[in-house]
């Protein structure tokens, strides 16, 4: 009887407490923490596929662990589980390394693109200030700048995928601004257009030389009025142009300053802009251009060609509706020198390397951005 009681007692002890329970390996909680840290570091964003594979492996290991935990404690063996979790941790460590590389790669790409877009933004903004292209292009540029400011914030927060989206937005706005600017700017890079302007300028100066008279050459790219006497440069005055002065005038109210060979047809001693020299815009060539544009449907049926283009006072930095404005004192000087009939030739540029063709070469180093 005693023997039986002793045997039962030993068996009970064996079943309940005497057998030392094997602890869950520390790798289990380490792997769980690692997975959370990887998630928080952005692994699902930057390493979607590898992270998904890693999670699957972790889930499988957790399943295996649950199976072992479900066994009677004296049958539990965590050796294979420990190895499994150790393998998961190894893969996780590798993922961390990859994640760091990927993030650095994306960060440097964002930074590089942001820098390039900022430079492009600066270049375009500078152009709009040179050619006064109105509000449309500036509004696009403002939107691009807002997007770039957002990129800056997101970049600081290490949110590179979101930064990349915003870079695309900024790029799209810059492209829109560039599209608005390009038609004006391209004329100042077009060598055949510049050759034509050069020819007009040469012919006008030549005429002044041959006839021993004054002539006026207005070069839009330099914003200069050049007064020639007997074929030699006598004076140079800074001028203001139309709101859309860098374009060739085609119709009324386009605020463009015409290009072509004109003459002074009237002198107005009491203009609202001090004094004024009226030129014969539109000339025959302007009319031909106007009709050609209408025929091609580039102008509305009701559009008129415009007129009353003058060289007047009011300041050399003002924006006009298409006229050429000078400082009052300088206009006074010019007014008394020239007569009705004096040739006035207006050109975009006489040099292939003009202020507009080179407007895109500056960098934003001075802006402190």
Residues that bind other proteins (CB under 8 A): 36, 39-40, 59, 62-63, 66-67, 69-70, 128-129, 132, 134-143, 145-147, 149-150, 152-154, 243, 315-319
CB 275 within 8 A of CB 312: yes
- By C-alpha distance, which of 190, 199, 192 is closest to 217? 199
- Specify the residue, 62 or 251, whose C-beta has the smaller distance to other proteins: 62
CB of 43 to other proteins, least distance (A): 12
CB 280 within 8 A of CB 265: yes
Chain-centre distance for alpha carbon 261:
37
CB of 26 to other proteins, least distance (A): 18
- Specify the residue, 58 or 215, whose C-beta has the smaller distance to other proteins: 58
CB of 263 to other proteins, least distance (A): 28
Beta pairing class for 232-238 and 224-229: antiparallel
CB of 165 to other proteins, least distance (A): 10
- Specify the residue, 131 or 299, whose C-beta has the smaller distance to other proteins: 131
- Specify the residue, 320 or 354, whose C-beta has the smaller distance to other proteins: 320
Q: How far is CA 216 from CA 152, 208, 221, 275, in A?
A: 50, 9, 15, 17
Is it true that the peptide bond before 123 is cis, omega within 30 degrees of 0? no
- Specify the residue, 56 or 206, whose C-beta has the smaller distance to other proteins: 56
- Specify the residue, 231 or 318, whose C-beta has the smaller distance to other proteins: 318
- Specify the residue, 325 or 357, whose C-beta has the smaller distance to other proteins: 325
- Specify the residue, 32 or 207, whose C-beta has the smaller distance to other proteins: 32
CB of 209 to other proteins, least distance (A): 35
Neighbours of 212 (CB within 10 A): 9
> What is d(CA 204, CA 108) in angstroms, rounded to the nearest whole number?
55
CB of 311 to other proteins, least distance (A): 17
- Specify the residue, 152 or 236, whose C-beta has the smaller distance to other proteins: 152
CB of 119 to other proteins, least distance (A): 17
CB of 45 to other proteins, least distance (A): 12
CB of 163 to other proteins, least distance (A): 10
- Specify the residue, 6 or 66, whose C-beta has the smaller distance to other proteins: 66
CB of 51 to other proteins, least distance (A): 13
Q: Which two tokens stand for residue 196?
A: 């034509």
Which residues face 268 on adjacent strands? 276
């Amino acid at each position: 009887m005693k023997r039986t009681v002793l045997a039962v007692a030993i068996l009970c002890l064996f079943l309940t407490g005497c057998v030392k329970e094997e602890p869950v390996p520390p790798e289990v909680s380490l792997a769980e923490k690692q997975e959370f840290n990887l998630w928080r570091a952005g692994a699902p964003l930057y390493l979607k596929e590898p992270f998904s594979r890693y999670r699957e492996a972790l889930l499988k290991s957790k399943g295996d662990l649950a199976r072992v935990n479900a066994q009677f404690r004296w049958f539990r063996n965590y050796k294979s589980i420990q190895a499994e979790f150790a393998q998961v941790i190894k893969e996780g460590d590798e993922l961390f390394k990859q994640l760091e590389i990927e993030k650095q790669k994306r960060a440097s790409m964002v930074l590089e693109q942001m820098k390039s877009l900022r430079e492009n933004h600066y270049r375009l903004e500078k152009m709009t200030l040179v050619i006064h292209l109105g509000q449309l292009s500036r509004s696009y540029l403002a939107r691009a700048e807002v997007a770039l400011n957002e990129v800056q914030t997101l970049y600081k927060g290490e949110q590179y995928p979101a930064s990349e989206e915003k870079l695309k937005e900024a790029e799209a706005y810059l492209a829109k601004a560039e599209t608005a600017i390009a038609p004006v700017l391209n004329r100042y890079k077009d060598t055949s257009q510049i050759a034509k302007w050069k020819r007009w300028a040469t012919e006008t100066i030549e005429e002044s030389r041959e006839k021993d008279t004054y002539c006026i050459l207005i070069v839009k790219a330099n914003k200069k009025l050049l007064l020639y006497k007997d074929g030699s440069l006598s004076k140079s005055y800074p001028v203001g142009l139309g709101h859309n002065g860098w374009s060739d005038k085609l119709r009324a109210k386009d605020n463009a300053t015409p290009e072509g060979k004109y003459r002074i047809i009237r002198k107005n001693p009491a203009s609202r802009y001090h004094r004024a020299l009226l030129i014969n815009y539109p000339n025959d060539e302007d009319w031909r251009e106007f009709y050609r544009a209408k025929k091609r449907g580039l102008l509305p049926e009701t559009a008129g060609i415009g007129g009353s283009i003058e060289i007047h006072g009011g300041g050399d930095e003002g924006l006009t509706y298409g006229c050429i404005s000078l400082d009052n004192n300088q206009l006074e000087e010019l007014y008394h020198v020239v007569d009705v009939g004096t040739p006035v030739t207006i050109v975009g540029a006489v040099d292939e390397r003009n202020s507009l063709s080179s407007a895109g070469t500056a960098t934003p180093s001075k802006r402190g951005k």
